Amino acid sequence: MQVFNKIADLRLYLKNKGVIGFVPTMGALHNGHVSLVKESVNQCDITVSSIFVNPTQFNNPDDLKRYPRTLEADCRLLEQNDCDIVFAPAIEEVYPDGYRLLDIDFGYLEKVMEGKFRPGHFRGVATVVKRLFDIVEPQKAFFGQKDYQQLMVIKELVKRYQISTQIVGCPIIRESDGLAMSSRNMLLSEAERKEAGNICRILTLAKELWKKEDVNFIKQVVKNEFGKTNLQLEYFEIAGSENLQLIGTKEDTKNVIACVAAYCGKVRLIDNMFL
Ligand code: AMP
């Protein structure tokens, strides 16, 4: 496995290497990231994974400061899983002219759930992903459904800029108690880690209730269930999985996803489940 820090070196190396698969990450890698790498290795000739903690997508400075950074362990894990290239640039390499953001407005997608509660987040995500796509020029890029709204934003980004990279969405990888794997899980104390398992438990309950009950009833049950835990619910929404339009009544749609964000201590966690 080769590790590059400079764009010029990376681009030189990638010349005539066939179908490039790309897995952008912020590091502190776990098996969720590994699943994306494996998918890329299966589908492509060469797999590039980037490790870059992108400052412009953090709307909370403490979150950025606390974000785990484990480059050495990350490289070991990537190598063990047949990743070919790690691109770990410095901030100045990605943002040579300061933090200039892409002039893009995702409209509705920026107004609900993650968009609503993390203002500016998706603009930062789009800026860095566009920049990384311009550098790597991948034929395929792999993203987790764990960040379902982000996946929709990326699909919208490639449409708007007519980027030819194919976006591949991959399923959520979970811990044995159901907790969605996340780099932020490392920041949880032992007690918080136990509490965090409630997120998936409550989503699973919502999925079960969806067979018989209506949206408002489910929302009330979810609120009550979170009330019994030490988690602070930020939002729970039921939405169409094609467009993330929030659903008020059950007649609305067939393909439906429940999305949740909750604080576990200071750590903000998100998860979702198809109903
Ligand atoms: P991050 O490092 O958090 O920016 O995530 C990098 C990529 O890994 C994104 O496409 C995420 O959606 C994906 N990812 C993170 N956690 C998981 C998970 N538990 N299962 C599947 N993909 C994930």
The reported pLDDT for the residue numbered 95 is 97
Summarize the confidence of residues 76-87 as an average pLDDT: 98
Identify the helix (H) or strand (E) that includes residue 140: strand 140-144
- Tell me if 25 sits within 8 A of 51, measured CB to CB: yes
pLDDT at 199 over 80: yes
- Tell me if 142 sits within 8 A of 36, measured CB to CB: yes
Summarize the confidence of residues 132-148 as an average pLDDT: 98
Ligand 1 center–CA 92 separation, angstroms:
24
Which residue among 87, 114, 146, 187 is best mutated to probe the pocket of ligand 1, counting the most ligand atoms within 8 A of its Cβ? 146
Ligand 1 center–CA 33 separation, angstroms:
5
Ligand 1, atom 19, residue with closest C-alpha: 181
Q: In ligand 1, which atom is closest to the CA atom of 24?
A: 6
The reported pLDDT for the residue numbered 48 is 98
pLDDT at 252 over 80: no
C-alpha–C-alpha distance, residues 203 and 219, integer Å: 11
- Tell me if 50 sits within 8 A of 88, measured CB to CB: yes
- Tell me if 22 sits within 8 A of 140, measured CB to CB: yes
Q: Which are the contacts of 9, defined by CB distance < 8 A and separation ≥ 6?
A: none
Ligand 1, atom 6, residue with closest C-alpha: 25
Ligand 1 center–CA 181 separation, angstroms:
8
C-alpha–C-alpha distance, residues 225 and 41, integer Å: 41
The reported pLDDT for the residue numbered 254 is 79
> Does the annotation count 33 as an active-site position?
yes
pLDDT band at 250 (very low <50, low <70, confident <90, very high): confident
Q: For the segment 122-136, what is each residue's pLDDT rounded down to a tens digit? A: 999 999 999 999 999
The reported pLDDT for the residue numbered 125 is 98
Ligand 1 center–CA 250 separation, angstroms:
30
pLDDT band at 251 (very low <50, low <70, confident <90, very high): confident
Summarize the confidence of residues 144-164 as an average pLDDT: 98
pLDDT band at 89 (very low <50, low <70, confident <90, very high): very high
pLDDT at 84 over 70: yes
Ligand 1: lining residues by beta carbon, under 6 Å: 25-26, 32-33, 35-36, 143-144, 146-147, 170, 172-173, 180-183
Average pLDDT of every residue of the chain:
96
Which residue among 22, 78, 147, 179 is best mutated to probe the pocket of ligand 1, counting the most ligand atoms within 8 A of its Cβ? 147
Percent above pLDDT 90 for the chain = 97
Ligand 1 center–CA 254 separation, angstroms:
26
pLDDT at 74 over 90: yes
pLDDT band at 248 (very low <50, low <70, confident <90, very high): confident
Q: In ligand 1, which atom is closest to the CA atom of 142?
A: 10
Q: For the segment 254-264, what is each residue's pLDDT rounded down to a tens digit? A: 799 999 999 99
Which residue among 31, 34, 36, 187 is best mutated to probe the pocket of ligand 1, counting the most ligand atoms within 8 A of its Cβ? 36
C-alpha–C-alpha distance, residues 176 and 192, integer Å: 16
Q: Letter for the amino acid at 7?
A: I
The reported pLDDT for the residue numbered 110 is 95
The reported pLDDT for the residue numbered 235 is 98
The reported pLDDT for the residue numbered 200 is 98
Q: In ligand 1, which atom is closest to the CA atom of 150?
A: 12
Catalytic residue among 14, 33, 49, 236: 33
pLDDT at 253 over 90: no
Ligand 1 center–CA 172 separation, angstroms:
8
